[in-house]
Structure 1
Amino acid sequence: MEMARYMIPRHLDDPPMVFMWDADEAGTFMFLMLFGALFQQFIAGIVLGFITARALARIKQAGGRGLILRFLYWYTRSDLWIKCRAPSFVREYAG
């Protein structure tokens, strides 16, 4: 078989993008920007949104996929929002 015929997409599993950011980072930026505009602090909202979006990007880059979900599982009441997993506060199971 000739390999030139088959094209394998390189970006098949990439997350959705908004301009240059992932969708969750852009959503964080836009939310804080609009929140700042709501309280007539538009510049502060833009700065805070940019800083928060960059921090979120670095956290995601450092921890790989699912870092934020793992953090939420261990440090919040996970029985409220993850029904299919065991509660995080149970350390030993009998049996």
Structure 2
Amino acid sequence: MTDKYQVPQRLDDPELIGLWTVDEFLAMVVPFGWGILSRHIFIGLLIAGVAWFGLRKAKAGRASSWLLHAAYWYLPGSFVRLKLTPPSHCRLLAG
């Protein structure tokens, strides 16, 4: 007798594009696209491979949000343009 309902076994798996997560795929496609547009395909492939490998090692079993949290704490606010707490003189205006 087969069950009428199926329960997914792994709910927290990230979305995949082929064999890669979305952020790994973008880390490969963006440098490769730059390489094609600038006529430096081999340099684009090399940068894409290094970006994929570096991102994979940086995540190392953690969620993708870990990199966003690290960028928030360790990079200057103007570099990443993440939302920050408004300065004290603007808090009354924010409501």
TM-score normalised by structure 2 residue count: 0.69
More helix by share: 2
After superposition, residues 32-47 of structure 1 pair within 5 angstroms as 32-47=31-46
Count of matched residue positions in the alignment of Structure 1 and Structure 2: 81
> How far off is 1:86 after superposition?
8.5
Structure 1: tracts of 5 or more residues without a match: 88-95
> How far off is 1:81 after superposition?
2.1
- 1:93 alignment partner in structure 2: none
Percent sequence identity over matched residues? 25
- 1:58 alignment partner in structure 2: 57
Large movers: runs of 4+ above 4 Å: none
CA RMSD of aligned residues (A): 2.5
Alpha-carbon separation, structure 2, partners of 1:69 and 1:27: 15
Matched position secondary structure for 2:83: coil
| Structure 1 residues 54 and 86: CA distance shift in structure 2, 3 A | farther
- 2:91 alignment partner in structure 1: none
- Whether 2:43 is the aligned partner of 1:81: answer no
Alpha-carbon separation, structure 2, partners of 1:9 and 1:43: 41
Matched position secondary structure for 1:13: coil
| Structure 1 residues 67 and 86: CA distance shift in structure 2, 3 A | farther
TM-score normalised by structure 1 residue count: 0.69
Alpha-carbon separation, structure 2, partners of 1:35 and 1:47: 12
